[in-house]
Structure 1
Amino acid sequence: MQERYQNLRIAEKGVILSMLAYIFLAALKVIVGQLADSATLIADGANNITDILSSLAIIYGLRLARRPPDEHHQYGHWKAETIATFATSLVMLATGGSVIYSSIKQMLTGQENTPGIYSLFVGIISAIIMLWIYFHNARLAKKIKSASLLAIAKDTRNDAWTSIGTSLTIIAANFKLPQIDNLVAMLIGGLILKTAYHILSDSAFALSDGFDDDLLDQYIAAVEKIPQVEKVHNIQGRTYGANIYVDIIIWVDPQMTVRESHHVTEKVESLLRRKFTVYDTDVHVEPWDVDYEPLQPNELNSGY
């Protein structure tokens, strides 16, 4: 348990690192974008501002998730991390829409911007910083199995590619192709929306107790290799933050004693914890029945 709380603290440090970089880069891009008359650079800076808000929400969620179980949250507060991720995706959706709206408005009014060439260096510096932070946080997220830190890392990677696109746009605009600036600003807005959608769908899937079927298949295959397990009758999985909870029903020899069946459940729990880092497993044992025929979906809903 202490290790998992420590992982939340490690994830928080990674998010803080990203947030500090976003604060610096957002200020730099907005200021230089105004001076250089670059809609793309300003849009890129606006994207970083949403990243700051997202980071703050994630930090709050990580701290709330560290609270121990209480009377009203007997499974703990782990889902606070996922709720914070869901909330940040909504902010990103609003920002992406705003960027696209502003770009279309400028194009329809015939505004053409030729950003100063010195703004190019801001885009290059930003891309280098973002790529470094991405590799750092992605490696850290994989190590501690933090979904929220991995989401922040992926967003940082998108920011790096966005900054590269901004740099290319500034070069093109200075070669008398100023409308490209607004077009790429729209693409940046679209990228914000795309990232927000993926984060929104993933967090909503987790909050609704969705679970990866492929993982369940892996659990079943591993458990059925235990000699005393005749068959996995049913299995369900859910997540609380980075923690995986599994409910599983196994069939065993009907002649097995209570003590022996208890040892089998311990083997199942140990296997899933050791091989798949499952946080908690609830194993239910039933006698193996070779003549058992599972109900079909239409029979389950027949009302009998």
Structure 2
Amino acid sequence: MAQWILKHFVSGDSENVSPKDRSRVGTAASIVGIIANIALCLMKGLVGLMVGSVSIVADAVNNLSDASSNIISFLGFKLASRPADDKHPYGHGRYEYLSGLVVATLVSAIGIELVLTSVDKIVHPQPTDFGIPVIVVLVLSIFIKLWLAHFNRALGRAISSTTLEATAVDARNDVISTAGVLVAAALSDATGFDLDGWAGVVIGAFVIFSGLSLIRDTLNPLLGQAPDPALVKHIHDTIMSYPGVLGTHDLMVHDYGPGRLVASAHVEMAAEENPMESHDTIDNIEEHFRQEGLIVILHYDPIVTNDESVKTMRGWIAEAILSIDSRLTIHDLRTVPGPTHTNVIFDVVRPHDLPLDDDELRDAISKIVTTRYPNAICKITVDSSYVSAV
């Protein structure tokens, strides 16, 4: 069914799904989840009340919460597909991340409620009548949830949706929890010792752990996590593949929702070349990315290439500062000679976990530079890296 939905609801390239198609796929997946979870809730709830099983009733409530999560996902995809407006020029794509966060929070809340209900069953035990109806409903639930987990995972990966992948994980958790209820029912029937409450505690703890993990995963894009290293490498390699490009740095990638990435970078080109030709090259690179569905804004950095002394200095400093930390890099180096000293101006990119603060780093680099260039006065701007190293 996942392939049928992708075939009929994705109109363009499956590698670059449009926001409109994402909304259609997400909406279809949410409707399927709502129908399946409400049906499971009704079946389990009736059977659980009939046999007096707190774990089965809790599992039914869990399915009801899953249906609520699907409704939230449905609303999230609908809101995320809204076009940009004056107040939100980058669109509303982050609604999808917010809906995923709400789903993850509901998963955690249901886990807590399941633990509390199960503890109450342990403290105040009540007889549980396990029989054929229980087994049939639980086995059917396991197969339906296995299918839902595969269904949502396939669609989530196809459209890169954290919401659908979170829903797939939730369905997998339901398989484990329902299997636990089934095992507890079988053992209780065989031994005569009611394990219903204990099974609920274990399952609830697992659901809480999974919910907290999902919260962490859905919070990351909202907090501004580093972009995918594969994307960073692709942007870097694409820029460097154009003739006349000497280097690139200061790459920043902003995520405004799935399929809504905006990036910027500096491109180093020879200062001696015709600036109109260099500008045309940069325009061509930006258009290349635009054809891929990625907005990249490039800044032109002219680099002096016909002064051998500057080239030698740039290469020596770049190599020498590796003695401080092997991850340090420099860019935009230029010199301003004077009668008594030479100002050496450049930027250095520092790792976030470098033990030196910015002033200590400047001092350390300046000391290294003056060992070879005693008349140099370093004017250093310390930059932070916003992406993974290429």
In structure 1, what is the equivalent of residue 265 of structure 2?
248
In structure 2, what is the equivalent of residue 262 of structure 1?
280
The CA deviation string for residues 232-261 of structure 1, in whole angstroms up to 9 with x for no partner, is 312222322212332222322323423334
Secondary structure of 1:230 counterpart: strand
Distance 1:268 1:279, change over 3 A: closer
Q: With CA pairs under 8 Å and 6+ residues apart, which has the higher RCO, 1 or 2?
A: 1
Is residue 2:96 matched to residue 1:36? no
Return the alpha-carbon distance in structure 2 between the equivalents of residues 179 and 262 of structure 1: 76
For residue 264 of structure 2, what is the amino acid of its counterpart?
A: D
Return the alpha-carbon distance in structure 2 between the equivalents of residues 271 and 144 of structure 1: 19
TM-score by length of 2: 0.69
CA apart distance, 1:121:
1.3
Is residue 2:364 matched to residue 1:298? no
The CA deviation string for residues 84-133 of structure 1, in whole angstroms up to 9 with x for no partner, is 22122222222211111111122133446453342011111011111122
Count residues in correspondence.
301
The correspondence for 2:249, drawn from 224, 233, 257, is 233
Q: Answer whether contact 2:29 2:152 (CA < 8 A) is retained.
A: yes
Q: Answer whether contact 2:22 2:77 (CA < 8 A) is retained.
A: no
Return the alpha-carbon distance in structure 2 between the equivalents of residues 108 and 231 of structure 1: 68
User: Which shifted more, 122-131 or 291-300?
Assistant: 291-300
Alignment of 1:110-189 (within 5 A): 110-111=125-126, 113-176=128-191, 178-189=193-204
CA apart distance, 1:17:
0.5
Q: Answer whether contact 1:117 1:171 (CA < 8 A) is retained.
A: no
Q: Answer whether contact 1:22 1:48 (CA < 8 A) is retained.
A: yes
Alignment of 1:84-103 (within 5 A): 84-103=99-118
Q: Answer whether contact 2:289 2:296 (CA < 8 A) is retained.
A: no
Distance 1:199 1:133, change over 3 A: same
Which runs of no fewer than 5 residues in structure 2 stay unpaired? 1-15, 305-310, 315-332, 334-345, 351-356, 363-380, 382-390
Structure with more of its chain in helix, by fraction? 1
Distance 1:114 1:273, change over 3 A: farther
Return the alpha-carbon distance in structure 1 between the equivalents of residues 36 and 189 of structure 2: 28
Return the alpha-carbon distance in structure 1 between the equivalents of residues 118 and 40 of structure 2: 21
Secondary structure of 1:251 counterpart: strand
Return the alpha-carbon distance in structure 1 between the equivalents of residues 232 and 18 of structure 2: 27
Return the alpha-carbon distance in structure 2 between the equivalents of residues 288 and 164 of structure 1: 65
For residue 139 of structure 2, what is the amino acid of its counterpart?
A: I
Return the alpha-carbon distance in structure 2 between the equivalents of residues 75 and 121 of structure 1: 50
Return the alpha-carbon distance in structure 1 between the equivalents of residues 228 and 294 of structure 2: 18
CA apart distance, 1:147:
2.1
Distance 1:165 1:159, change over 3 A: same
Return the alpha-carbon distance in structure 1 between the equivalents of residues 215 and 254 of structure 2: 18
CA apart distance, 1:301:
10
The CA deviation string for residues 31-84 of structure 1, in whole angstroms up to 9 with x for no partner, is 111112222212211211211111111111111111111110111111111112
Q: Answer whether contact 1:43 1:189 (CA < 8 A) is retained.
A: no
Secondary structure of 1:83 counterpart: helix
In structure 2, what is the equivalent of residue 191 of structure 1?
206
Q: Answer whether contact 2:93 2:256 (CA < 8 A) is retained.
A: yes
In structure 2, what is the equivalent of residue 280 of structure 1?
295
Q: Answer whether contact 2:286 2:297 (CA < 8 A) is retained.
A: no
Return the alpha-carbon distance in structure 1 between the equivalents of residues 303 and 46 of structure 2: 71
For residue 115 of structure 1, what is the amino acid of its counterpart?
A: F
Q: Answer whether contact 1:216 1:236 (CA < 8 A) is retained.
A: no
Return the alpha-carbon distance in structure 2 between the equivalents of residues 219 and 265 of structure 1: 18
Return the alpha-carbon distance in structure 1 between the equivalents of residues 184 and 27 of structure 2: 34
For residue 347 of structure 2, what is the amino acid of its counterpart?
A: P
Which runs of no fewer than 5 residues in structure 1 stay unpaired? none
The CA deviation string for residues 243-289 of structure 1, in whole angstroms up to 9 with x for no partner, is 23322223223234233343245336635864xxx632222232246
Distance 1:41 1:266, change over 3 A: farther
The correspondence for 2:42, drawn from 8, 13, 27, is 27
For residue 233 of structure 1, what is the amino acid of its counterpart?
A: H
For residue 270 of structure 1, what is the amino acid of its counterpart?
A: H
Distance 1:111 1:254, change over 3 A: farther
Superposed structure 1 runs of 4+ greater than 6 Å apart:
none
User: Which shifted more, 44-53 or 285-294?
Assistant: 285-294
Structure with more of its chain in strand, by fraction? 2
Distance 1:270 1:170, change over 3 A: farther
TM-score by length of 1: 0.87
Return the alpha-carbon distance in structure 2 between the equivalents of residues 147 and 134 of structure 1: 14
For residue 88 of structure 1, what is the amino acid of its counterpart?
A: V
